[in-house]
Amino acid sequence: MTKEPAAVFEAVTKTYGSVRAADGVDLTVRRGETLALLGRNGAGKSTAIGMLLGLDVPDGGRISLLGTTPEQAVLAGRVGAMLQEGRAVSRVTVRELVGFVARTYPRPMPVADALALAGLTALADRRVDRLSGGQAQRVRFAVALAGNPELIVLDEPTSALDVEARGEFWEAMHGYARRGNTVLFSTHYLEEADSFADRIVVLDAGRVVADGTPEDLKRAAGGALVSLDLGGAPSAYLSGLPGVTEVEIRGDRARLRTDDSDATVRALAARDAIRGLEVAPLTLNDAFLALTRARAGATPEPEPSR
């Protein structure tokens, strides 16, 4: 496997009117990794993906894709993409659609291979416009594979799918990744990033605010979660306990974020307040909220639609 990065952003900027959708983005996507791009609405994810695929042009900085320009890499079939918008094609079968797209590339993936990787072999002769939502999404995945890409880009690939269909989609994507290919995906489902990504990059206000493995991000956020039953006791004292930085009350149960779980638990024990106690590390969701909290009070501006 070549050591050349799959994609490189160098000081990339992009502005739409008063919205700075990319504000000096520096990012390297390594070959063979599965990278999740996270961020609140308006953080710059779709803009970054659009520029990576050559759909938008940066105002400043440089983007390299597989050692060349985004436009050249996409035209050569070295990059496949699933964007958020898509519509079924009428009166064609799955095999016909994937075969038609494959013939537009110089070195396409065999249609049978694309169908197998997307889990569509049994549906190859079914009309595309008669598939379920999950099956249609797998067709879009097969179309993205048609050019035999080295890198695939997925923009919110499971946003409209139920739990079963999401599981089937990620099983199909894993087959592609296991071949040593590179995957970059954006998602609002943090559990998907935690389960499937080798590395996570968090964008906020057009900037990279965190970059690392899921465990790296959880550690960077710091602390742990201490949960306990209140049992009808007043909760005002909880915010003053040693180490506690945040208190959340859900019904008759308190959830404490703490920088020193040992000190917090000792203080609770001293007050004879340990009931249904649980101590756990932060989840990725907790880490994500902590990383983006600085702008949480501001209303994110939507990225321009295409």
CATH number at residue 158: 3.40.50.300
Q: Give how many domains the chain has, as a whole number.
A: 2
Q: Are residues 136 and 202 in the same domain?
A: yes
Q: Are residues 121 and 252 in the same domain?
A: no
CATH number at residue 268: 3.30.70
Q: Are residues 251 and 138 in the same domain?
A: no
Q: Are residues 260 and 197 in the same domain?
A: no
**Angle, helix 284-292 to helix 214-221, in steps of 10 degrees:** 60
Q: Are residues 203 and 76 in the same domain?
A: yes
292, part of any domain = no
Q: Are residues 194 and 273 in the same domain?
A: no
Q: Are residues 94 and 145 in the same domain?
A: yes
Give the pTM.
0.80
Q: Are residues 115 and 236 in the same domain?
A: no
Q: Are residues 43 and 126 in the same domain?
A: yes
Question: Domain range for residue 277?
Answer: 223-281
289, part of any domain = no
Picking from 218, 241, 259, the residue at the C-terminal end of a domain is 218
Question: Of the candidates 136, 131, 138, 127, which has an alpha carbon nearest to the alpha carbon of residue 168?
Answer: 138
> Going residue by residue through the chain (306 aa), what tens digit of pLDDT does each one get?
457 899 999 999 999 999 999 999 999 999 999 999 999 988 999 999 999 999 999 999 999 999 999 999 998 899 999 987 667 788 999 999 999 999 999 999 999 999 999 989 999 999 999 998 888 888 999 999 999 999 999 988 888 788 888 888 888 888 899 889 999 999 988 999 999 999 999 999 999 999 999 988 888 777 789 999 998 778 889 999 999 988 999 989 999 989 899 999 999 999 988 899 999 888 888 888 888 864 554 444 444 444
Q: Are residues 92 and 29 in the same domain?
A: yes
Q: Are residues 244 and 117 in the same domain?
A: no
